[in-house]
Amino acid sequence: MVSGVLVVAPVEEVAQVGVFRVLAGKRAGFREEYLKLAVEKTLKAIGDNVVTIALYGSYGTKDYLPGISDVNLLIVSKKEPDLANIAGLSEELKSLGFAIPLILKKEFIDTSLDIFPLEYLKMMSQYQVLYGKDLFKDLVISKTHLRLQCEREAKSKYLVLRQAYLESFNNKKRLKLLLLASLKALSAILWGINYLMGNDRPEDTRALIGLVLGPLGIGLSPVSMVLDLREGKIRPNLNELRELYISYVGVFGELASALDKWEV
């Protein structure tokens, strides 16, 4: 969206939630020992400015697919680190297979919980502290702010996916990329709704869709099939992919309608 006008979205836009972008590293060949190296390199680059280094996202869960899933780091600092220093650090971490790290000042987190509740909730749902304080355990997410952002994200992804289909319905490769990329955004929205419902944390995305979509009366099949596509369990032809895409986009529309009526 540019100045309030919808434009056809690149694949990256359908994956993005809010402004916290995840830019991938090399992905293949990531090893557990790189976590310790990441801490060492971060401390060397910005030293006692570091408050927390945390791993977040699917790594270490059933959703993680080696060579496909990102390995995400959050680095929290006391004061704004020098861009020149963190640019070099970012390149070193990328070379190990990490996504470009998300580096935030502690004060920024404290003052943006009302703006980015969904992003922080998603981090809180799947994280591991590698160094320093556990900042997530005491974070309080406002359900009012969360519901609003979930609705906004569901409606925006519904619109951009529909627009993207009009451009890409004859391109099988692009349709597949759009479906797979948008799973990140859908997962974040579902985590938010799961929190609004007061449910326990599920062990993976398949469990999550059952907890959220079932009670809302939304069919699980489109999302389950996109997960199967991601895992290489199905290989639809172009017509089958079109049908899947259309039904999957409908899930975003149904979620948006449900969230619009939701009372917190």
Please determine, for residue 248, whether its predicted confidence score (pLDDT) is greater than 90. Answer: yes
Please determine, for residue 47, whether its predicted confidence score (pLDDT) is greater than 70. Answer: yes
Report the chain's mean pLDDT, rounded to a whole number. 89
pLDDT, one tens digit per residue, over 140-192 is 999 999 999 999 999 999 999 999 999 999 999 999 999 999 998 999 999 99
Phi, psi of 15 (to 5 degrees): -90, -20
The count of residues in the chain is: 264
Please determine, for residue 38, whether its predicted confidence score (pLDDT) is greater than 90. Answer: yes
CATH topology of domain 21-115: Beta Polymerase; domain 2 (3.30.460)
Query: What's residue 67's pLDDT?
Result: 78
- The mean pLDDT of 4-27, rounded to a whole number, is 54
Please determine, for residue 44, whether its predicted confidence score (pLDDT) is greater than 50. Answer: yes
Q: Which residues of 2-34 are buried (b: 16+ CB within 10 A; e: fewer)?
A: eeeeeeebeeebbbbbbebebebbebeebeeeb
The pair of structure tokens assigned to 258 is: 């449900």
Please determine, for residue 29, whether its predicted confidence score (pLDDT) is greater than 70. Answer: no
Please determine, for residue 7, whether its predicted confidence score (pLDDT) is greater than 70. Answer: no
Query: What's residue 68's pLDDT?
Result: 78
Query: What's residue 20's pLDDT?
Result: 57
Residue 54: helix, strand or coil by DSSP? strand
Closest CA to 102 of 60, 150, 42: 42
Query: What's residue 41's pLDDT?
Result: 94
Q: Which residues pair with 50 in a beta bridge?
A: 77
Label residue 264 by pLDDT band (50, 70, 90): confident
